[in-house]
Amino acid sequence: MSLSTQTDSRANAPATSAEIDASCRAPVLFLFTSAALWLVAAAAIGLIASLKMHQPLLLVRGAELTYGRVLAAASNAFLFGFAAQAILGVTLWMLSRLGGTPLVAPLVALLGAVVWNLAVTAGVGGILAGDSSGYEGFEFPGYAVPALLIAYTFIALCALATYFQRRERESYVSQWYLLAALFALPWAYLTVHSLLLVDPVRGVAQAAINLWAVAVLREIWLGGSALAVIFYLVPKLLNRPLHNRGYALLGFWMLLILGGWTGLYEGAPLPLWMVKLGGFASLLMIFPLFVVAWNLHATANGQVVLGAECRVLRFAGFGLFAYLTATLVMAMNPLVSAALQFTHYTAAVKHVAFYGAFSMAMFAAIYHIVPRLAGTDWPCENPMKWHFTLASAGVLLVALPLAVGGWKQGMGLLDPSVDFNQISRTALMPIRVSTLGEILWLAGSLLLVGNLVRLLARRFCPCAALAAWVESNGGAR
């Protein structure tokens, strides 16, 4: 691995897009396809969890499908099945493209991706079998984690080597966010694994570590990756330069420094200074949020981003606005947490962040990148259009009712004379509506898989494979 990028970069001309895409093809298409399949799995398991919220007597015979296990399985399948692989695919491709250099050791990355899928399968299966670690967001049993981290190392080393060998000297904001995300996940998971699972620390220090790791995943890993995609696609598709690199830098460093502190909440059984500092950091998140929003606003320069004509930009625009909304609402958390912390309101905000912001941004990236790798356009625009409609309606139909239900729950909890059971039941109707949202989301996810399968089948069906390979090496796009 060459560390002397500066001297090299002047000597080596950037590789052509076609060369770069050819080097990324196998690992990135594999990562995206398996990410989409895990997305469907997570949505299906999540739908069961959603149904069980208002049908408590559904599927109660076996321990495997009890609500707690199903919920944890769905969220881990989403995080490590879908999110991780989508992020890694985007990282490999974007670091290569923006660095102007072919991907280093694509077969190592592919091998890592295969092992990753096996590890995630073991982890999700382990949760359903009752081996959950008991730490929120990191419920994979201890035996699944080493394989997970080794697989990640394979892929991450390819990404890092590619970055260090880049031939474009000037680095771009998307590269910073992706590199930060590349480090954030293993750092958080290694901390959780070593200090909570292998040799657990004592007492609430565990909770502090868990809250930190969850915040790092949410703000820096998921949020940062979403911003990387948005900062890449918005200027690119609008054909405008990024407004201001300095502001982008400012927003980036503020997110990195503040992100990990935002998981704390008022009244947690932790030292007061920790809670107060966490609340303060949450409020400060307004600044990186504002810097990002203003930078992109100035970049767009009056052109439409939310509801744009271009389908890919439409996904990215929805992701951007969901990101801004979720971050703004989360920054306000210290003000409302006394009433709303443990209600469906928190779940609603998390849903906007994970599904509205992160997932939609990743869909934009997948729809943008896959045709370039396959060397052929999407067979038909309609399924993409329907995916957007179903996914955006799905996000809103989950988040809005849950926010309303959570608000009602919170108001009820404030009054000690209201019976607790009654409070839980006031949220039932919103939860029923949110099940509808989960169904729409599942349908949208199936469309994504269908789109991918159709495109890949058309491109790589055995009879045409040889011809396709030759043609694509000639550089179709």
Nearer to another protein, 232 or 261 (CB): 261
**Counting contacts by CB under 8 A, is residue 239 touching another protein?**
no
Nearer to another protein, 264 or 357 (CB): 264
Determine the interface stretch with another protein among 3-11, 85-93, 283-291, 315-323 (rule: CB under 8 A).
3-11
Determine the interface stretch with another protein among 201-209, 328-336, 358-366, 392-400 (rule: CB under 8 A).
201-209
Determine the interface stretch with another protein among 10-18, 409-417, 440-448, 455-463 (rule: CB under 8 A).
409-417
Nearer to another protein, 33 or 346 (CB): 346
Task: Name all contacts of 120-123 with Cβ < 8 Å and 24+ positions apart.
Answer: 120/38, 120/76, 120/77, 120/80, 120/81, 120/84, 120/144, 120/148, 122/147, 123/76, 123/80, 123/148
Nearer to another protein, 343 or 376 (CB): 343
Nearer to another protein, 108 or 250 (CB): 250
Residues of this chain, 14-33, that bind another protein according to CB under 8 A: none
Binding mask 211-230 for another protein (x = CB under 8 A): xx--xx---x----------
R_g (Cα) of the chain, nearest Å: 22
Determine the interface stretch with another protein among 86-94, 175-183, 233-241, 455-463 (rule: CB under 8 A).
175-183
**Counting contacts by CB under 8 A, is residue 268 touching another protein?**
yes
**Counting contacts by CB under 8 A, is residue 467 touching another protein?**
no
Token pair in block for residue 133: 């670690």
Q: How far is the CB of 296 from another protein (least distance, A)?
A: 19
Binding mask 155-174 for another protein (x = CB under 8 A): --------xx-x--xxx---
Determine the interface stretch with another protein among 149-157, 205-213, 289-297, 391-399 (rule: CB under 8 A).
205-213
Pick the binder of another protein from 8, 48, 142, 187 (CB under 8 A). 187
**Counting contacts by CB under 8 A, is residue 206 touching another protein?**
yes
Binding-site residue total for another protein (CB under 8 A)? 93
Q: How far is the CB of 319 from another protein (least distance, A)?
A: 23
Pick the binder of another protein from 43, 53, 110, 148 (CB under 8 A). 53
Residues of this chain, 60-119, that bind another protein according to CB under 8 A: 60-63, 66-69, 71-72
**Counting contacts by CB under 8 A, is residue 271 touching another protein?**
yes
**Counting contacts by CB under 8 A, is residue 143 touching another protein?**
no
**Counting contacts by CB under 8 A, is residue 333 touching another protein?**
no
